Amino acid sequence: MEGRTSDDSHLVDRLRRGDARAFDELVTAYQHRVFSVALRMLRNRTEAEEVAQEVFLRVYRTVAAFRGDAKLSTWLYAIASRLCLNRLASSDRRVTREGDETLTRLASGDATPVDELERSELEATLHRAIAELPEERRIVVVLRDLEGLSYEEIAAALDLELGTVRSRLHRARMDLKEKLERFLP
């Protein structure tokens, strides 16, 4: 596993010392990544924001117990993933489709109307395809292909064997390949 970057290491030290500005910097630096994972997993902005907020509050409360051998980002992804999977596992979770609509609105800015339409159709299909994956495969593909984590980081964040990460990711991608076939060149 990669060691912590010196910046993150410094940030963790400051967080441990209770430096108020360090927490501010942490939230600013990681808010989009943490929220992104939560939204991809939960497909609902309100729930995603609740979970993302809880991730940072947990970091705030437990930074003293943070193991120095893991990367700060991996730790954040680990907490975010666990909270999302727990929430998805709770039987009486209210299922909404709001997230699909929200994600579709993320079409790129400077495209012709036709491009934009195609783009948004592709985006919608992509998000639906990701959303339909079983949860334990979805989190792996989100962390790898949308967030860019290494296999080792995913294994650490989800507490899985490397082989399990590899096979879940492969199955997820095969699944997505079939669903996205018409967009593939």
Count of residues near another protein by CB under 8 A? 55
- We find the least distance from the C-beta atom of residue 137 to another protein, in angstroms, to be 12
* Sign of the torsion formed by the C-alpha atoms of 124, 125, 127 and 128: positive
CA atoms within 13 A on the CB side of 126: 18
Q: Among 8, 9, 16, 53, indicate the residue that binds another protein (CB under 8 A).
A: 53
- Confirm if 11 and 65 have CB atoms less than 8 A apart: no
Q: Is 185 in the site for another protein (CB under 8 A)?
A: yes
Q: Among 35, 41, 43, 80, indicate the residue that binds another protein (CB under 8 A).
A: 35
Q: Which amino acid is at 100?
A: D
Stretch of 6-14, 77-85, 110-118, 166-174 contacting another protein, by CB under 8 A: 166-174
Using the minimum distance from each CB to another protein, give the nearer residue, 6 or 16.
16
- Both tokens assigned to 71: 């990367």
Chain positions 80 to 119 lying near another protein, rule: CB under 8 A, are 90, 92, 94, 103, 106-108
Using the minimum distance from each CB to another protein, give the nearer residue, 6 or 65.
65
- We find the least distance from the C-beta atom of residue 41 to another protein, in angstroms, to be 11
Chain positions 117 to 156 lying near another protein, rule: CB under 8 A, are 122-123, 126-127, 130, 141, 144-146, 150-151
- Which residue in 47, 51, 37 sits closest to 98, CA to CA? 47
Which residues have C-beta within 8 Å of that of residue 15, sequence separation ≥ 6?
A: 22, 23, 26, 59, 60, 63
Using the minimum distance from each CB to another protein, give the nearer residue, 6 or 28.
28
- Both tokens assigned to 148: 């860019």
**Interface residue list for another protein (CB under 8 A):** 20, 23-24, 27-28, 31-32, 34-36, 39-40, 45-46, 49-50, 52-53, 56-58, 60-62, 90, 92, 94, 103, 106-108, 122-123, 126-127, 130, 141, 144-146, 150-151, 166-167, 169-170, 173-174, 176-177, 180-181, 183-185
